[in-house]
Every structure is written in C-alpha cells, then in structure tokens.
Amino acid sequence: MTSKECFELAHWAVTQARKCGAQDAAVDVRDQREIQVQFRDKAIEKMQEAKRHSLSISIYLDNRYSSQNTNNLQKESLEKFITDAVAMTKYPSEDPFRKLPDPKYYAGRQKQDLELRDPSYESLSTEARIESVQQAADAASTASNRIVSVTAGFSDSLSRSVKVHSNGFEGEQEDTSFSLYANPTIKDDEGKLVEEYAYGNTRFRRDLPDPRKVGKEATERALRRMGQKKVDSEKLDMVVENRQASQVLWPLIGPLRGSTLQQKQSFLEGKLGQKVASERLTLIDDPFILRGLGSQLFDGEGLAAKRRTVIEKGVLKTYFIDNYYGRKLGMEPTTGEPSNLVFEYGGKSCNEIIKGVSRGIFVTGFIGGNSNGTTGDFSFGISGMFIENGALVKPVYEMNVSGNMKDFWNELIEIGNDPDIYSGWRTPTLRFGNVQFSGM
C-alpha cells in the first residue's frame, strides 16, 4: 500500500468508528514486507518472504476502552469489524483515565529526516541475500577444524506505519532493517559442544559488517569458550561485554515505567532527583540518532519525541510515563518506552578496561535468571572469561551473579568507549566492582 492509501484507510476507519458511536478512535495501518534466508551446513534451509497488512483500532466510548486488530483490509469486512469493535467497547468497566492524549503533546514534533529507510532497498536481489549468508557460513566453517555445524542467516524488512487519531494526530514512519548472523557449533577436547554467534543489525544495508568478518568472529568466540568451567565463589570485578550490557541495564529501566510505578512494583518509585547509581552513569534517551534502530519523531501514542536525560551522573532525572499512567499518577506524560539509549561514554576500549582488572570475570553471555523490579534483587547465570592481572586466562561457565540493583549500579567503576551500534540500546563495555559470583 502507498502512503496515501494508508492514510485514506486510517481516516476512513476513524470516521466509521465515530459513526458507530465512538467518542474517539485511534487507528494504525501497517504494511510490511520481510524476507529471510537461512543456511545450515552449507545448504539453504529456509527462504521465506512474508507480506503483512494490518489495521488496529482503539475505541474510546463513555470512559470505556477496547483495542482490536485485523488483517482483512477490505472495506466491506472492515465495516462489520469496526461496528463490532464499538459494540464490544460498551462492556468493559468504566475507566476515566482511558482517553486519547491531550493534543498539546502532539505539538513540537521535529521535521528532520532520521534516515530510517534505505533508498536502495528495492534493488537488493535474492542472489545478494544468498551470497551474504553463504559468505558468513563459509567463513565460520573454515575458521576451525572443530566445526560441527554452522547456521547463518540474513533477513531484511521494509515497513510503513500510519497513525491517525480522531483528535487531530497524524503521523507516518517508514523504515528498513537488515540483519545478518552466524551461529557455529564446535566440539572441544572433552567432546562437549560449544555454541556462539556474531551478528549485525542496521537500517541501511551498507552499514552491515562484512559477512566474512561475522562468520570468522562467531567461530573465534566459540573457540575461546573451549574448556569452560566453574570457578570458586568470590566477590570480583565484573566486566560486561557491550553487546550483553543491556541484560543488566533492563532491570534498571523497567522500574522507570509508569505502569510499575503506579502498581507499586518499582524500587525506583519516589527517587526523582536522588542518586540511584554511580556518578559515572549518565544515560540519555535520544530518539533523533540518524539511522538509529529506536529512532522516531513520535512515540506509539503520538507524543512528540524529545531527547531526555534519564540519569545524570547517577541522579535520576525522569521516568517513562505514557498517557494512561500519567493520568493515573497525576504526572506529565513523557513517553511510555525508551527509544535509543545512549551513555556518556568513557575513554577506554574493552581491552583497555580488562587490562586494568586484577581479578574478575569478563561476562560474554547470560544464562537465564531473574530480577525483581519491586525490591531490586537479581540473580543471573553467566558465562565468560576469568581475568587475572589484566589478562583473559580461562573460560568460565554456569556461574551465578547476584545482588541488588540499588547496590550494583552504585558499584559502576568504568564505562567503555565502544557502544553496541547494532542495537537501539547503545550499551558500551561496563565494569562493576565488588560483585558476588558463585557456582550454580
């Protein structure tokens, strides 16, 4: 569907909802094409193309609310779908906080081009997709004679989303994404199988890493884990690899959401303006990064996107408050979810940070675990490398790291200069002190 067709359909659906008795309505029309190619052991295992068209509608009627979704975009079917949606909205309990955002929050939307759509997308051929996967798989396979099997994949998508609200909001986002990975399995000297991966994920195809580099890196990572074992329980420094650091960041971000605050499930409730982490931590929600995986001019409710400092030198500056929970909490809405999270980065690389550690563990993977957003308590399984006198000396596995987020983030010692550019959360290498490790 073209942009014009999506907008016309969205406006028509809003009009239909109001004709059926809805006081307000919000409509999203989405159009997506996705292609996946997967190799396994030097043969194509999967080649799939999917095209999806959908319309979702939120109905507001007499302080009642419902949301419905359909993939049938024929107007004859949509008329009945919308009529039924409005009728069903009469049954939920009244909730006076369920309203569209005040239009004042739509104002101030930036006009800039965030470069989210690769203009060369349509020229990408099936042969080029297959070649990328094959190069990654071949590079992984030839990097060691210990290879048991290799899986590699390439996927790309083109998406358009149009949003229309009955109280004046209109917005559109069109974007592309490209993803490439290699996932080898090797056998170590004891006959144990070890798996690892490397990847890239970008808005523009030319920003992807070289497939051969991805394949080689994946196998090198697997070889590094050969002979992994547990080590004695001890309090040590913990260096978290940049691509894994989001695993320890999420337990800090989740409790900042309006829903957790309102439901008294956040250990950060009432902490605005207070120190919640080491002064080394400055964290910014930046929706305007060019080609950013989380970039946007407006959020899922139509609120104009803004750059916000979430934590400044350890002090909490803002929460993630959507329209609904903002009303319930009596707080100004900001946005319900982070876009791109960026740090105030340090001056050292990952290797330089490791060289400064006397004894510690370099965490390169997490194996399950949990965190309690109400108390801040956490426990995660980890794998990685033991650090001694600034060197990686042996692989470790099935270790457990535990503690409380309130203490953990105050033990942040160093932040690297190496953000993970293949994620919307651009986490760098992070070093924490005084972390409890134990065998699982």
Domain end call among 82, 106, 130: 106
Q: Indicate if the pLDDT at residue 204 is higher than 60.
A: yes
Return mean pLDDT, the chain. 96
- pLDDT recorded at residue 162: 97
* H or E, element range at 312: strand 308-312
pTM, rounded to two decimals: 0.94
Cα separation, 242 vs 416, in Å, equals 8
Instruction: Write out the residue range of the structural domain in which residue 217 sits.
Output: 121-224
Cα separation, 380 vs 436, in Å, equals 11
Kindly report, residue by residue over 396-436, the tens digit of the pLDDT. Answer: 988 999 999 999 999 999 999 999 999 999 999 999 999 99
Q: Is there a single domain that holds both residue 403 and residue 260?
A: yes
Q: Indicate if the pLDDT at residue 175 is higher than 60.
A: yes
Cα separation, 321 vs 304, in Å, equals 13
Q: Is there a single domain that holds both residue 55 and residue 137?
A: no
Q: Is there a single domain that holds both residue 271 and residue 181?
A: no
- Average pLDDT, integer, range 187-212: 94
Which DSSP state fits 257? B
Q: Indicate if the pLDDT at residue 167 is higher than 80.
A: yes
Whether 65 is in a domain gets the answer yes
164's tokens? 């229309």
Q: Is there a single domain that holds both residue 435 and residue 365?
A: yes
Q: Indicate if the pLDDT at residue 101 is higher than 70.
A: yes
Residue 42 pLDDT class (50, 70, 90 cuts): confident
Cα separation, 363 vs 371, in Å, equals 17
- pLDDT recorded at residue 67: 96
SS3 (DSSP) at 206 = helix
Q: Going by DSSP bridges, is the β-strand pair 359-371/234-240 parallel, antiparallel, or unpaired?
A: parallel
Kindly report, residue by residue over 333-343, the tens digit of the pLDDT. Answer: 999 999 999 99
- pLDDT recorded at residue 264: 96
> Would you say 27 and 55 are in contact if contact means Cβ atoms under 8 Å apart?
yes
Q: Indicate if the pLDDT at residue 191 is higher than 90.
A: no
Whether 358 is in a domain gets the answer yes
Cα separation, 366 vs 428, in Å, equals 16
SS3 (DSSP) at 246 = helix
Q: Is there a single domain that holds both residue 206 and residue 313?
A: no
Whether 259 is in a domain gets the answer yes
- pLDDT recorded at residue 341: 98
Kindly report, residue by residue over 46-70, the tens digit of the pLDDT. Answer: 999 999 999 999 999 999 999 999 9
Whether 72 is in a domain gets the answer yes
Residue 351 pLDDT class (50, 70, 90 cuts): very high
Whether 116 is in a domain gets the answer no
Domain end call among 224, 245, 278: 224
- pLDDT recorded at residue 375: 97
> Per mean pLDDT, which range of 205-214, 237-246, 361-370, 424-433 is the poorest?
361-370
Percent of the chain with pLDDT over 70: 100
Kindly report, residue by residue over 13-31, the tens digit of the pLDDT. Answer: 999 999 999 999 999 999 9
Q: Is there a single domain that holds both residue 348 and residue 433?
A: yes
- Output b/e per residue, 312-332; b: 16+ Cβ within 10 A: eebbbebbbbbbbbbbbbeee
Q: Is there a single domain that holds both residue 151 and residue 211?
A: yes
Cα separation, 400 vs 366, in Å, equals 9
CA-to-CA separations, 161 to 74, 103, 181, 291, 298, in angstroms, rounded: 18, 20, 27, 17, 12
Residue 439 pLDDT class (50, 70, 90 cuts): confident
Is the pLDDT higher at 183 or at 188?
Answer: 183
- Average pLDDT, integer, range 221-245: 92
Q: Is there a single domain that holds both residue 280 and residue 166?
A: no
Q: Indicate if the pLDDT at residue 135 is higher than 90.
A: yes
Strand (E) positions, 229-272? 234-240
- pLDDT recorded at residue 237: 97
Q: Is there a single domain that holds both residue 159 and residue 203?
A: yes
> Would you say 221 and 420 are in contact if contact means Cβ atoms under 8 Å apart?
no
- What is the number of alpha carbons within 13 Å of residue 435 lying toward its C-beta? 31
Q: Is there a single domain that holds both residue 416 and residue 314?
A: yes
Q: Indicate if the pLDDT at residue 284 is higher than 70.
A: yes
Whether 182 is in a domain gets the answer yes
Is the pLDDT higher at 276 or at 190?
Answer: 276
Nearest to 339 by CA among 302, 384, 368, 296: 296
42's tokens? 């030097």
Nearest 5°: phi and psi at 196? -155, 180
Domain end call among 106, 138, 159: 106
- pLDDT recorded at residue 368: 85
Q: Is there a single domain that holds both residue 379 and residue 431?
A: yes
398's tokens? 């099935």
The number of folded domains in the chain is: 3
190's tokens? 């004891």
SS3 (DSSP) at 145 = coil
The CATH number of residue 159's host domain is: 3.30.2290.10
Residue 440 pLDDT class (50, 70, 90 cuts): low
Whether 229 is in a domain gets the answer no
Whether 111 is in a domain gets the answer no
* H or E, element range at 221: helix 211-224
Residue 230 pLDDT class (50, 70, 90 cuts): confident
Q: Is there a single domain that holds both residue 308 and residue 397?
A: yes
Residue 41 pLDDT class (50, 70, 90 cuts): confident
